Amino acid sequence: QQQVKQSPQSLIVQKGGISIINCAYENTAFDYFPWYQQFPGKGPALLIAIRPDVSEKKEGRFTISFNKSAKQFSLHIMDSQPGDSATYFCAAMQTGTASKLTFGTGTRLQVTL
Amino acid sequence: DAGITQSPRHKVTETGTPVTLRCHQTENHRYMYWYRQDPGHGLRLIHYSYGVKDTDKGEVSDGYSVSRSKTEDFLLTLESATSSQTSVYFCAIRGGVSYNEQFFGPGTRLTVL
């Protein structure tokens, strides 16, 4: 049972464009939603995270949009750069317990020149 | 890498042999986690620990055991490795400002022939 569904599986964006990755969750007890960035041969690195009490969070070129009623959240990368080429994972967690993360299946982003 | 090291970084072994992977942290974090990463599955939780000698199962714990005799070390053991356990294994610790963040080590690539 996949509790966090992520799309698309892969994405090609031109330099300067906007990259959008979407996730949907099922468990309404989830209350913390991080995004991770992973480069080949490296461990996932926390990029940005949001709690469901806000609809949007922005850090530099990265923005999370959150729709609680639809149980969906998305990552927007503005002015995408070749250095953003990586695999991105969304995740969800119910806080206050063991903080176990449930991950999406990942999106491989390629930013072309 | 939040002071997390994993050893070995690469290992090739044969079916039926025991394998132990080590995760070492230097920052006295209470919670530690083992995940496996496979194409099409994202990262899945194997086991986690919430203190010395305190561990619990994750989503895909069958065929794995863990031990934590010291705060800084969390060991993952495959008692009798199978080809289905060929994967990249990541260790993570819980920390950060909100204490909900997880920080990952560099990973161990395990191949079971």
Q: Which of A4, A99, A105 sits opposite B94 (nearest CB)?
A: A99
**b/e code B3-36 from CB counts within 10 Å (16+ = b):** ebebeeeebebeeeeebebebbbeeebebbbbbb
φ and ψ at residue B112, rounded to 5 degrees:
-110, 115
Q: Contact at 8 Å (CB) between B99 and B29?
A: no
Would you call B2 an interface residue with chain A, using a CB distance cutoff of 8 Å?
no
Q: Which of B42, B58, B103 sits opposite A100 (nearest CB)?
A: B58
Average pLDDT of span A6-29: 97
Using one digit for the tens of pLDDT, what is the confidence trace for B34-53? 999 999 899 999 999 999 99
Query: Scanning every residue of chain A, which has its alpha carbon at the shortest distance from the alpha carbon of B93?
Result: A99
Chain A residues whose CB is inside 8 A of the B56 CB are: 98
Between CA B27 and CA B46 the distance in angstroms is 22
Q: Which of A41, A44, A102 sits opposite B104 (nearest CB)?
A: A44
Cα–chain center distance at B113: 20
The pLDDT assigned to B96 comes to 82
Q: Contact at 8 Å (CB) between B15 and B55?
A: no
- Token pair 């619990």 is found at B56
Using one digit for the tens of pLDDT, what is the confidence trace for A36-95? 999 999 999 999 999 999 999 999 999 999 999 999 999 999 999 999 999 999 999 998
The pLDDT assigned to B111 comes to 98
pLDDT category of residue A99 using cuts at 50, 70 and 90: confident
